[in-house]
Structure 1
């Protein structure tokens, strides 16, 4: 494969498909590679301090978070060498042999390279970036970081500003900038320890997982109970991942509006990749959109899933789907491996608020695991009279409460009593009317 063909494929991965835009960028990249190869093969970095000002992305204008003004460490001043095969393909970097682990995701390598760069360890950052690009060749943001690291060693071409006049290039680079910010600035698991999301009002020990999506931060979280924890123990965030949502944002209202719905939904099925087109990647968890609340609000549409990415790209831009929540395939695989069964709650919010947990007395099913927010005047959720089996009450297992179009709404789920012939969990939906709860759906025990 020729070098020109490889560059064309790289530009297609970056979303640049027009012939004019490709030719302009190819010319710029060839000049960068010519200078960069010479600089990387034998030139020692001898400046006392250095500023990372990549030629493909200009930090001053785009604000990409991997710029640095740190001094290079002594081990970073050694000459760097890169090898290419006869067809122009880069030879994979030699890295210490070690078992592949789940922590070696594209994002983890991206963050590791970014941290090393911010600490001034340029050579180490480049090695990690090369490893990332080799393992995940369709990771567009990772390719951009590697290109910037390489281009930093080359003089700035005089015609590079012509590239920025291409609207397609500007759009794609802007998307990658936002993706970089979302991946590097989200709250990690440690920062959320001891906190619970605002919509969660009650969770029994029978619910092992809750999936949460924060569209504003392009982040998915999984809350889980620890296997050796007490029944009243607070669930912890055990997993988080970058996600993409609708190309028109959130607040789905109509079929085809390109928006991701906001609310509480429940997993229906797990579909594996042999059953799915390439668009859905490594698998999918289907959701029950539209819910009774959505139908009451006269929303339309269907087929809102959590799913993986097409093989042509590692991950999508933050707002680029038709309404689904999309993960990288390795993250989707990890999510499924956690054991997310049907009926698992999925909270999708424009922006999640987290609160410090308040401990409650065991067995109290009318209060919240989270410190209540202005709920003192609101009555507890009533148990529907028709959810009884031979005089035995059904058992509340979860309750979620949130705002929908300025109305307070809730979904409360129940398990049947042990003596019941039914084994199905039932979900009841409520809307606050004045100071009373009004039930939207009227489920009956099967």
Structure 2
């Protein structure tokens, strides 16, 4: 009975139901769902992702580097399910020695989830219980964490016998599917060391005047911030200084119409920082507004507005991978950390369905502006010395598109910037619009 009371308390902390009957109704299917969740999230799913080919811009395919969790195992993980076998016993073949992280991560819901995940995989169930308990105490609205903790409690009491019948309930099956997707995306988290010496394909050039660039990889449910800095040898390089799990539109990528529930793909720029006293609870701890639709979007007759990077409602730690109206949504603690980076207005934000990374040492164009770019008409008509400070290029609907940013060199502390937008027609670039047009 004591175990059952702890399970009830776990779900009450989530705010699911005010009466005892509703708590019981919610707790039973969720406990059953998690037993299946831990059985379904297998190491095989993570291992398979490492063998997929990455398609590069030049048409060649090279093996993608293996995915690793934040807590990288010292031996290859075996093709065995994670979690507990029926009756609370460790599933056979799951014990794998754990390896300390390369750097101590910022402790949040995700890092605690990954610790629990790794400990379960290593068969260290007592330690997994301790970490899971810390996770739900510190982040009571983290539903994925609550599921794992409830499963560990239920496995001790043998309270999983009803799982087969309860999993026939459509709502339970849908929630299970969402949690499985979130858990799998979080376990695909890559150590920041993976990105050392790499750059994302859409970035063609960044001058020292552009301090940071934000990248969203929808396929991986991940947001990165790259700092444009000098390394120990004095050479300019990119460094991933922030990354976080995100949710995108409930209908995926490729926004075309207002209300279509999709997230746009392209390059946008930060406009404003909005903090929580100014926002409804829907937007969580803060928001960064973006300039969607861009002139390229308008040229292609895309509609809609209000695409932001923002936090989550207070009762929800994070959303499933595809669960927004089109915005890119982070957990509130991640959103707070993102805002604390001090991203300036006009910071570029690349939103891509899938990001491809290249070796920066083999990309001479990153060190100097590409010679083939044309000058925007507005720049030619404005007196002054304009300097190219960023260039992005990608393929959109089988058409090459580009966004260039120039900065007017003046003594002003707030330099004037100009963003121009281009599409490739035949072998020539055509300017398609300007901000405000």
**Following the alignment from structure 1 to structure 2, what is the Cα–Cα distance between the partners of residues 443 and 153?**
61
The corresponding residue for 2:368 is 364
Separation of aligned partners in 2, 1:157 and 1:361:
58
- Which whole-Å CA distance do the structure 2 matches of 1:252 and 1:192 have between them? 29
Q: Separation in 2 of the partners of 1:262 and 1:365?
A: 24
Q: Which moved more, 1:145-154 or 1:405-414?
A: 145-154
Say if 2:363 is the partner of 1:340: no
1:392 deviates by 4.1
Map 1:89-238 onto structure 2 (within 5 A): 103-155=106-158, 157-226=160-229, 232-238=235-241
State the TM-score, normalized to the length of structure 2: 0.78
Distance 1:15 1:413 in 2: 49
Which stretch of structure 1 is more off in the superposition, 154-163 or 166-175? 154-163
Distance 2:333 2:272 in 1: 19
Q: Secondary structure at the match of 1:57?
A: helix
Who is 1:62 aligned against?
40
Aligned counterparts of 1:174 and 1:417: Cα–Cα separation in 2: 53
Residue in structure 1 matched with residue 78 of structure 2 by the alignment: none
Alignment RMSD: 3.3
Cα distance in 1 for partners of 2:303, 2:350 equals 19
Q: Identify if the C-alpha distance between structure 1 residues 28 and 209 changes in structure 2 by more than 3 Å, giving closer, same or farther.
A: closer
Farther off after superposition, 294-303 or 8-17? 8-17
Q: Tell me how far apart the structure 2 counterparts of residues 121 and 158 of structure 1 sit (CA, whole Å).
A: 24
Change in Cα spacing, 1:317 to 1:105, as seen in structure 2 (3 Å) is same
Native 8 Å contact 1:28 1:157 kept in 2: no
Deviations 1:286-320 (A, max 9, x none): 00000000000000000000000000110001100
Match for residue 274 of structure 1 among 271, 274, 277 = 277
Deviation (angstroms), 1:361: 7.8
Unaligned runs of 5+ in 2: 44-81, 84-90, 97-103
For residues 167 and 362 of structure 1, do their structure 2 counterparts lie closer, same or farther at Cα, with a shift above 3 Å needed?
Answer: closer
- How far has the Cα of 1:422 moved from its partner? 8.3
After superposition, the Cα gap between the structure-2 partners of 1:21 and 1:162, relative to the gap in structure 1 and judged at 3 Å, is farther
Cα deviation for residue 113 of structure 1 reads 1.3
Aligned length: 381
Unaligned stretches of 5+ in structure 1? 33-53, 74-100, 368-379
CA drift at 1:232: 4.8
Question: How far, CA to CA, are the matches of 2:37 and 2:150 in structure 1?
Answer: 14
> Map of 1:247-266 to 2, 5 A cutoff?
247-266=250-269
1:291 aligns with 2:294: yes
CA displacement 1:215-236 (0-9 Å, x = unmatched): 1110001100236667751111
Q: Secondary structure in 1 aligned to 2:277?
A: helix
Contact 1:416–1:422 (8 Å) recurs in 2: no
* 1:70-91 alpha-carbon deviations (Å, 9 max, x no partner): 5889xxxxxxxxxxxxxxxxxx
Flag the structure with larger Rg.
1
Aligned pair partner of 2:402 in 400, 407, 410: 410
TM-score under structure 1 length normalisation: 0.77
Q: Deviation at 1:363? A: 6.4
